[in-house]
């Protein structure tokens, strides 16, 4: 199955010049979605981890499915002002803007091993911010896994510079 058939490119969204990869058709096709989760789960087994960290919002979809399949807990990295307790925060830039992510300060046990999950790796800004939140918690990032990596935006290099191993089911 070629998952790229279910990931159309939408030019100039959300800003001129951005070639946006839309995951909606993949999610809407039960066979493609299920195949993607099975393949991502297989890649996740190469890591020894205690928790999955999912990134709001598209990352939550894949993180939830993988946490269930892996029988691991799911921790949410959320956009600002959504979490009810004390948080660690990170500001970051991504391909088409700036944002912040937060996690609750008391959610990750110190020294626990964390696998980061998102849908797309573009510049890597989002995953590096998520990794910094894990570090602030005293936990350890064992790797990152995405559905789709946009190779020319060089996120993988940025992640490697931060000592974050990265893997992607599809690379374009």
Ligand X SMILES: O=P(O)(O)OC[C@H]1O[C@H](OP(=O)(O)OP(=O)(O)O)[C@H](O)[C@@H]1O
Nearest approach in angstroms of CB 117 to ligand ADE is: 14
Q: Nearest approach, Cβ of 45 to ligand ADE (angstroms)?
A: 26
Note the residues at the interface with ligand ADE (CB under 6 A).
18-21, 94-95, 120, 122, 150
CA 81/CA 152 separation, integer angstroms:
33
Return the residue of 57, 68, 91, 111 that touches ligand X, per CB under 6 A: 57
Helix (H, G, I), strand (E, B) or coil at 37: helix
Which option in ligand ADE, ligand X, none does residue 149 bind, with CB closer than 5 to 8 A by kind? none
Please indicate whether residue 78 is annotated as part of the active site.
no
Q: Clarify whether 95 is annotated catalytic.
A: yes
- 62-121: which residues touch ligand X (CB under 6 A)? 94-95, 99, 118-121
Measure Cα distances from 109 to 22, 24, 29 in Å: 35, 34, 37
CB of 90: closest distance to ligand X in angstroms? 12
- Using rule CB under 6 A, residue 54 touches ligand X: no
Tokens 């993949």, located at residue:
26
Catalytic-role residue among 56, 90, 95, 102 = 95
Beta carbons of 32 and 6 less than 8 angstroms apart: yes
Please provide the size of the chain in residues. 172
The helix/strand count (H/E) of the chain reads as 5, 9
Nearer to ligand X, 124 or 143 (CB): 124
| Contact predicate 104/135, CB 8 Å | no
**Is 18 exposed, middle or buried, given 0-12, 13-18 or 19+ CB atoms closer than 10 A?**
middle
Query: Which of 23, 32 has the CB closer to ligand X?
Result: 23
Selected binder of ligand X within 37, 104, 125, 147 (CB under 6 A):
125
* Residue ranges that bind ligand X, judged by CB under 6 A: 55-59, 94-95, 99, 118-126, 155
């Amino acid at each position: 199955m070629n998952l790229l058939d279910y990931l159309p490119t939408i030019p100039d969204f959300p800003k001129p010049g951005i070639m946006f990869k839309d995951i909606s058709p993949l999610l809407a096709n039960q066979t493609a979605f299920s195949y993607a989760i099975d393949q991502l789960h297989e890649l996740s087994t190469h890591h020894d981890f205690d928790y999955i960290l999912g990134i709001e919002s598209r990352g939550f979809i894949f993180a939830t499915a993988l946490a269930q399949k892996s029988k691991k807990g799911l921790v949410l990295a959320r956009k600002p002002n959504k979490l009810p307790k004390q948080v660690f925060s990170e500001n970051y830039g991504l391909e088409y803007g700036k944002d912040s992510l937060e996690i609750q300060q008391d959610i990750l046990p110190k020294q626990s091993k964390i696998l980061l999950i998102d849908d797309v790796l573009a510049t890597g800004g989002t995953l590096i911010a998520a990794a910094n939140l894990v570090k602030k918690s005293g936990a350890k990032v064992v790797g990152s896994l995405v559905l789709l990596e946009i190779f020319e935006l060089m996120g993988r290099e940025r992640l490697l510079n931060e000592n974050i191993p990265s893997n992607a089911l599809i690379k374009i």
